[in-house]
């Protein structure tokens, strides 16, 4: 009969006493089944928070687990199902750094008192569901399957996957990650083939995903982030091939930063709790579809959008210019950046909302000029404000010259109507070909076949670039006082008409009007 695993252990650790739990582990690990140390199905009896009261019948040394997973002779006793333990207290550090583990590590509802070191290790799967741990170091680790830090998992220290490769999901749903003032969950440069789930998790400290690649979604729905050191979620330069969810009660106290991140799917910002408590930095980030709502937007001064791009705005997200301009104006006012306005206007134009795009462009000009005035001496600000107001009212900063053209045409037409009505009542306007005496009736009146003078038609004919044939029949009477003034006004009205025609053509062809 060959050596047992217990015999191999005694050979390497002569005189080392095994606890009842360690003895059971060595006796049963080769079967590959879950070794359950919970005395009953009562959740309270298997609560890792009560592990201080657990005796030696539920205590396993970290040094034994280290030896079991790394010693060549011991590893031969472990089946392909790996090491599976439930309801045990692990005392001392577990040091599996650089180990090549060809099996999973499953520690359910366990309490790990010390560091769990998996740096540059290789293993099938890591499951710490509902367990309580200190720091977990897995920098550079290669995990073929998923990592499960969920459903009651609590970490008091840093959980680190810097540069790690995870072949499945990183599941942290419902977990607690507590490291106030420091990093709680760090996965800078990690490659995660599945999703990163932080649904309903509670985090005190920073979550770092700098430069990480996530093939699936980044889901933070209902998560609560609390950071006293500025950043709550730091995912600059991250690549997310799925979508990002900051919704369903998502809450953050601190800064959520996705600078230069690339998100292929949706960026969801809806149903956020207390959006005034966090700032959102999307500078130079790119997303596929923007799906948000005003009630979840950060407060004034907190969103940073310079360089932010999106392929489209979701159908159920705000698409009207008023809401979107409010969104843009929530950015910090110390520095003005035109790009967010220009990109929004271009996106609205591509979606067919031309008027909304023009309103956004006008808002850009207003805010740009307002920012310029803030840098000028106080005495100049009023003058510049008056000039800017004139440009807005008269020309819409070049974005609504069609309205300006119509307004000027109406003003000139009304002026012509007033002047030529006055001229007609004072007999300054007379026919070019007066009625001959034979056509005068016995009572001295003109025949009804001769049309009377119409100030409106005369003004319109002077303004119109194409002759209407009315002005040729009327002229000013040089014998009447005020005739020269009326004559000069007519010439000016004709010149105004040609000016308006030129302006109209330039506006219609886009030569003069600013493009959105």
- Tell me the longest C-alpha to C-alpha distance in the chain: 150
From residue 139, alpha-carbon distances to 97, 101, 125, 151, 166 in Å are 9, 15, 15, 23, 11
Confidence at 438, pLDDT banded by 50, 70, 90 = very low
User: What average pLDDT does this structure show over 76-104?
Assistant: 97
- For residue 296, the tally of other CB atoms under 10 A from its CB is 17
The predicted pLDDT at position 484 comes to: 87
- Is pLDDT at 441 greater than 80 in this prediction? no
Confidence at 396, pLDDT banded by 50, 70, 90 = low
Written as six digits, the tokens of 146 are 């998923």
Q: How far apart are CA 492 and CA 489, in angstroms?
A: 5
Q: How far apart are CA 325 and CA 99, in angstroms?
A: 55
Q: How far apart are CA 311 and CA 161, in angstroms?
A: 32
Q: Within 13 A of 459's CA, how many CA atoms are on the CB side?
A: 21
The predicted pLDDT at position 450 comes to: 43
* Dihedral Cα 399, 400, 404, 410, nearest 10 deg: 170
- Whether 429 contacts 456, CB under 8 Å: no
- Whether 232 contacts 278, CB under 8 Å: yes
- Is pLDDT at 435 greater than 80 in this prediction? no
Q: Tell which wins on pLDDT, 144 or 369.
A: 144
**Residues in the chain, total:** 516
Kindly tell me the number of DSSP H helices and DSSP E strands found in the chain.
11, 35
- Is pLDDT at 262 greater than 70 in this prediction? yes
Confidence at 390, pLDDT banded by 50, 70, 90 = low
Q: What is the percent of the chain where pLDDT is above 90? A: 64
The predicted pLDDT at position 282 comes to: 98
Q: What is the percent of the chain where pLDDT is above 70? A: 91
From residue 249, alpha-carbon distances to 117, 246, 373 in Å are 34, 8, 40
Computed over every residue of the chain, the mean pLDDT equals 90
Q: Tell which wins on pLDDT, 508 or 501.
A: 501
Q: What are phi and psi of 222, to 5 degrees?
A: 70, 5
- Is pLDDT at 439 greater than 50 in this prediction? no
205-255 pLDDT tens trace: 999 999 999 999 999 999 999 998 789 999 999 999 999 999 999 999 999
Q: How far apart are CA 226 and CA 202, in angstroms?
A: 8
User: What average pLDDT does this structure show over 441-459?
Assistant: 64
């Amino acid at each position: 009969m060959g050596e047992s695993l217990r015999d191999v252990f005694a050979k390497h650790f002569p005189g080392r006493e095994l606890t009842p739990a360690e003895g059971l582990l060595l006796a049963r690990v080769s079967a590959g089944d879950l070794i359950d140390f919970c005395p009953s199905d009562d959740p309270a009896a298997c609560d890792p928070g009560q592990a201080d009261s657990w005796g030696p019948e539920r205590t396993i040394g970290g040094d034994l687990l280290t030896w079991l997973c790394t010693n060549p002779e011991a590893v031969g006793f472990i089946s392909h199902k790996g090491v599976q333990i439930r309801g045990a207290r692990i005392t001392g550090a577990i040091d599996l750094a650089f180990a090549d583990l060809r099996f999973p590590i499953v520690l359910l509802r366990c309490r790990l008192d010390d560091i769990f070191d998996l740096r540059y290790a290789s293993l099938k799967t890591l499951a710490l569901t509902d367990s309580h741990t200190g720091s977990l170091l897995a920098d550079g680790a290669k995990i073929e399957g998923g990592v499960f830090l969920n459903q009651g998992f609590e970490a008091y220290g840093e959980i680190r996957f810097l540069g790690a490769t995870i072949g499945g999901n990183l599941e942290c749903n419902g977990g607690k990650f507590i490291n106030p003032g420091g990093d709680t969950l760090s996965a800078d440069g990690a490659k995660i083939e599945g999703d990163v789930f932080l649904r309903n998790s509670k985090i005190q400290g920073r979550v770092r995903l700098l430069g990480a690649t996530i093939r699936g979604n980044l889901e933070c729905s209902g998560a609560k982030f609390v950071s006293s050191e500025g950043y709550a979620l730091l995912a600059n330069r991250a690549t997310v091939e799925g979508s990002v969810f900051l919704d369903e009660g998502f809450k953050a106290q601190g800064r959520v930063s996705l600078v230069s991140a690339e998100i292929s799917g949706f960026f969801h910002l809806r149903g956020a709790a207390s959006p005034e408590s966090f700032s959102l930095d999307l500078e130079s980030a790119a997303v596929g579809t923007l799906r948000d709502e005003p009630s979840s937007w950060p407060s004034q001064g907190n969103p940073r959008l310079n360089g932010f791009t999106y392929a489209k705005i979701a159908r159920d997200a705000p698409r009207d210019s008023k809401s979107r301009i409010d969104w843009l104006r929530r950015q910090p006012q110390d520095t003005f950046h035109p790009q967010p306005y220009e990109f929004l206007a271009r996106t609205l134009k591509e979606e067919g909302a031309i008027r909304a795009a023009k309103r956004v462009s006008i808002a850009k000009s207003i805010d740009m000029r307002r920012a310029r005035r803030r840098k000028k001496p106080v005495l100049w600000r009023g003058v510049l404000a008056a000039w800017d107001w004139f440009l807005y009212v008269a020309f819409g900063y070049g974005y609504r010259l069609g309205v300006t053209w119509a307004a000027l045409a109406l003003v000139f037409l009304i002026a012509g109507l007033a002047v030529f009505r006055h001229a007609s009542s004072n007999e300054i306007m007379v026919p070019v070909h007066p009625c001959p005496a034979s056509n005068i009736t016995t009572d001295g009146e003109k025949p009804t076949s001769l049309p009377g003078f119409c100030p409106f038609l005369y003004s319109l004919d002077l303004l119109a670039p194409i002759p209407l044939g009315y002005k040729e029949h009327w002229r000013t009477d040089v014998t009447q006082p005020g005739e020269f003034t009326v004559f000069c006004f007519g010439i000016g009205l004709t010149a105004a008409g040609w000016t308006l025609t030129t302006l109209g053509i330039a506006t219609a062809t886009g030569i003069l009007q600013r493009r959105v």
